[in-house]
Structure 1
Amino acid sequence: MSQSILTFMGPMDLAAAVFTLPLFSLVLAGFIVVGILVVPRVRRRRGSGAAPGGGAPLPTVPARYRSEHRALGIGAIAVIVAYAVENVIRGYLLDLVDIVEWWQYATPVFAAVFCLTVGLGLIVVRGTPQPDEPVVPTARRTWLSFGPRAGFVGGTIALVTLLATTIAAGLASSSDERGRFIYLEIPVPNTQLEPLRPWFYGWDFGVPVLLGLAALVLVTWATLHRNALRPYLRPEPVAAERNARTQVASGAVAIATAATLLALGGAFRFIGRYGSMSQLTVGNDDHGITYDMTWRYAEFAALGGGLAPALEVTGFALLLLVAIRLLRRPAPERQHPRPQPSTQPESVR
């Protein structure tokens, strides 16, 4: 049986079948991250003839930021693990017939909320000691001060897209006899047939995602806010502290963006699976009658289903890059000498 199936499946069919597995996106993201990290290093060595292990040293990370970096790096891995464990348990170990599996789409969002909450707690409890020598900032710092501009733009686009998709799908959904908004009603025009009601990303799936998004936005903003406003310890290591804060902010934004992309990819898969249906065949293959069904957004549903793997790959790649960047060993810390009375402090942002 399996041999006959493979006989009729071409390379494109096999590739399409593989991309229907969300965890394949994780494997593909792993290869992409390896390429991002390895290829430039190989080119640099070949071009400059540098010895293996050469290259610019990693920046020094002040001790007060190490726990935050480790927490965010481990948290990025935890989001991947939570997503993978949920996918395996739900898909292969549980029988969830007629169960609204809303956690399938909310898991990455709530995992990111938990991760960032831990990082925020470390900033509040351990990352704000009294400065040895107060450093007066020369510019007002806000939650935007250390975050990556491109990261903010990408995260905002992902957030708005998931928000709009969830609300639009909820408005398009219809309820079952138990009042659960889990169906998409697709009429079959010019017939006496009842409308088709496939499962859909309705309110019962989307409301938990919306609640998770609200919590994710709040905890991300709080993390960026507290990371920016805490005082510097001394004038001389300001550059190192600024770099460490930038790493914290970019890591938090990347984790929030990645979780949003994973949830959006799952929603697009669900919508594309049934929302793109356009024909209904009544009867067997030889004597069946095919009817056209109408749903105004069927083309968008099909497009979303095709984009879902790319969104998941991007989300997994972001999480892997955050984990690698924040968990790798920095250069040994150098002891910064105490400033002399005549030393001019570096301008502080």
Structure 2
Amino acid sequence: MSQHVLALPSPIDLAAAAFTLPLFSLVLAALIIAGTLFVPRLHNRAGGTASPTAPVTARYRPEHRALGISAIAVILVFAVENIVRGYLLNLSDIVEWWQYATPIFAAVLCLAMTLALIVLKGAHQPERPVVPTTRRTWLSFSPRAVLIGASAAFIALLGTTVAAGLASSSDDRGRFIYLEIPVPNTEIEPLRPWFYGWDFGVPVLICLAALAVVTWATLRRNAMRPYLRPETVTAERLARIQVASGAVSIATAAVLLALGGAFRFIGRSGSLSQLTIGNDDTIYDMVWKYAEFAAVARYLAPALEITGFVLLLFVAIRLLHRPTPEGHGLRPQPSAQPETVR
């Protein structure tokens, strides 16, 4: 009597399969954020940081709330698009360019609404004008580390999209969606898997440019509006740093999610290196000069997505946290001081 043994996948195989799902990255990010809440120092940074005084809180609370809701909205839009596209729609032979542009486009809309709030708030006249002693710019309230991280993410997505577009080839309909991988020393036609070509990348570049503009405009309007009165300058400075940091973090997270998706696509197609045809046991080597990068990109994609989700969750927790009345508020300055911040 023959016995058939059911081969169960190993834990390593299950983990590898899970990491191919973008929403699994969201689950891991949520676990990371939940873990940080049990560390007092990190918890204080996430939700228990020093808060402005009551008048300042009332002025900046709508913007903080808008940014916190925006972070959640980007996550929800990304998740809904992923589920609808991946499980509910039949998109055979359709260029699904929107899956890479969606998180960036969602961030553009969210930051545009926050910018509108800042513009409306800035239209109000201050109670007692503060004479500026230094010139404020869009860089004045943005932490340097946050800006450096955002710049690196923007440059990485820009460079990846342009390089992949240049490496792509077109189909018979003129769509740049293929990557030609030749099989040297044979008469076999080059393999043409789908690839992150121009038809996928151009919408991403357009959204990336729009995100850069709206982020810059948000930071500039946040910095240029007048203070309420001299004694609230310190508290308002803290509130504006929170606005700038939240806006840049949302933009960075959206770019990382798009970059993670692009890396997944490039890794699936560009890391092909061998081909077996039919029942022939002969293995043919395929040559693509960026195959090593594609293989690395495949493993980096989940890390980029996890980082993006962690940033969004961190912004939501930090800016939607309502400070206690007697909590960590900054007390007004006892005497009027001129503005000394950039």
What TM-score do you get using the length of structure 2 for normalisation?
A: 0.92
Q: Are 2:340 and 1:348 equivalent residues in the alignment?
A: yes
Aligned partner of 1:348: which letter? T
SS in 2 for 1:182: strand
Distance 1:178 1:276 in 2: 25
1:32 shift after superposition: 0.6
Distance 1:294 1:183 in 2: 15
Distance 2:188 2:303 in 1: 37
Aligned partner of 1:17: which letter? A
The Cα RMSD (Å) is 2.1
Match of 2:119 in 1: 124
Match of 1:189 in 2: 184
Aligned partner of 1:295: which letter? W
1:38 shift after superposition: 1.6
Distance 1:79 1:56 in 2: 24
SS in 2 for 1:262: helix
Q: Are 2:212 and 1:199 equivalent residues in the alignment?
A: no
Change (3 A) 1:186 1:335: closer
1:43 shift after superposition: 10
Match of 2:156 in 1: 161
Q: Is the 8 A contact 2:130 2:338 kept in 1?
A: no
Distance 2:72 2:33 in 1: 14
Change (3 A) 1:178 1:69: same
Change (3 A) 1:13 1:311: same
Aligned partner of 1:251: which letter? G
Match of 2:215 in 1: 220
SS in 1 for 2:228: coil
Aligned partner of 1:33: which letter? I
Q: Are 2:316 and 1:323 equivalent residues in the alignment?
A: yes
Match of 1:292 in 2: 285
Match of 1:135 in 2: 130
Q: Is the 8 A contact 2:37 2:43 kept in 1?
A: no
Q: Are 2:253 and 1:261 equivalent residues in the alignment?
A: no
Change (3 A) 1:163 1:4: farther
Aligned partner of 1:309: which letter? P
Change (3 A) 1:345 1:57: closer
Q: Is the 8 A contact 2:22 2:305 kept in 1?
A: yes
1:223 shift after superposition: 0.2
1:185 shift after superposition: 0.3
Could you report, residue by residue, the CA deviation over 1:288-347 in whole angstroms, capped at 9, with x for unpaired residues? 3210000000000000010000000000000000000000112328898898xxx44254
Q: Is the 8 A contact 1:283 1:289 kept in 2?
A: no
Q: Is the 8 A contact 1:79 1:111 kept in 2?
A: yes
Change (3 A) 1:296 1:345: same
Q: Which deviates the most, 125-134 or 319-328?
A: 125-134
Q: Is the 8 A contact 2:128 2:230 kept in 1?
A: yes
1:35 shift after superposition: 1.5
Match of 1:234 in 2: 229
Aligned partner of 1:238: which letter? V
Match of 1:310 in 2: 303
Q: Is the 8 A contact 1:59 1:330 kept in 2?
A: no
Distance 1:330 1:181 in 2: 51
Match of 1:23 in 2: 23
SS in 1 for 2:231: coil
Aligned partner of 1:283: which letter? G
User: Which sections of structure 1, spanning at least 5 residues, go unmatched?
Assistant: 45-54
Aligned partner of 1:145: which letter? S
Distance 1:111 1:206 in 2: 17
Distance 2:224 2:43 in 1: 40
SS in 1 for 2:37: helix
1:269 shift after superposition: 0.2
Distance 1:246 1:220 in 2: 14
Q: Are 2:3 and 1:11 equivalent residues in the alignment?
A: no
Match of 1:52 in 2: none
Distance 2:172 2:299 in 1: 32
Q: Which deviates the most, 78-87 or 122-131?
A: 122-131
Aligned partner of 1:303: which letter? V
Q: Is the 8 A contact 1:167 1:206 kept in 2?
A: yes
What count of residue pairs does the alignment treat as equivalent? Answer: 330
Change (3 A) 1:69 1:165: same
1:105 shift after superposition: 0.3
Match of 1:114 in 2: 109
1:101 shift after superposition: 0.2
SS in 1 for 2:283: strand
Aligned partner of 2:305: which letter? E
Match of 1:49 in 2: none
User: Which sections of structure 2, spanning at least 5 residues, go unmatched?
Assistant: none
Q: Is the 8 A contact 2:256 2:305 kept in 1?
A: yes
Change (3 A) 1:346 1:299: same
SS in 1 for 2:310: helix
